[in-house]
Every structure is written in structure tokens, then in C-alpha cells.
Amino acid sequence: MKRKAVMVAILRIIGLAAFFMGLLWIAQGLGLVHWPRESFMLDQRPWAWRGLVLALLGIAAVWRAGRRR
């Protein structure tokens, strides 16, 4: 694989991981997901906002990876 293709794949993987982690943080911050049971993030609105930012950054990374081809 070319170096550029590897970088695109890595950026895509990191972007997807950030997106899904952001969704989890949003759900935990809004109290929709109570996993793990003893998390400090449960029902804490600031974590929902941080999750939104992380999810948007993940989308931006995936979008950027698609444009690098």
C-alpha cells in the first residue's frame, strides 16, 4: 500500500472511532445510556456537549480522509 493510502485509512479509522465515542458520550451525558454503571459522565450535560464536539470532529476527519484520494 502506498503511504498516502495508509494515512487515509488511519485517518478514517480514527475519525470513525471519534464519531462513535462521541455518540456514546452524548448518550451518557443525556442519561440515555448507563454504561458503565459507575461512570462519572452519567446525566452530566457537559459530557453531552463534549460528545457532540468529538462526533463532529470524527465526521470532519472521515470527510477529510475521503478528499485526500
Task: Identify the pLDDT of residue 54.
Answer: 99
Residues 6+ apart with CB under 8 A from 25: 41, 47, 48, 50, 51, 54
Kindly tell me if the per-residue pLDDT of 66 is higher than 90. no
When divided into structural domains, the chain yields a total of 1
Task: Identify the pLDDT of residue 69.
Answer: 57
Task: Identify the pLDDT of residue 4.
Answer: 86
pLDDT band at 68 (very low <50, low <70, confident <90, very high): low
Rg (CA), the chain: 15
Interval 1-57: pLDDT, tens: 688 889 999 999 999 999 999 999 999 999 999 988 898 999 999 999 999 999 999
Structural domain including 26 reads: 3-67
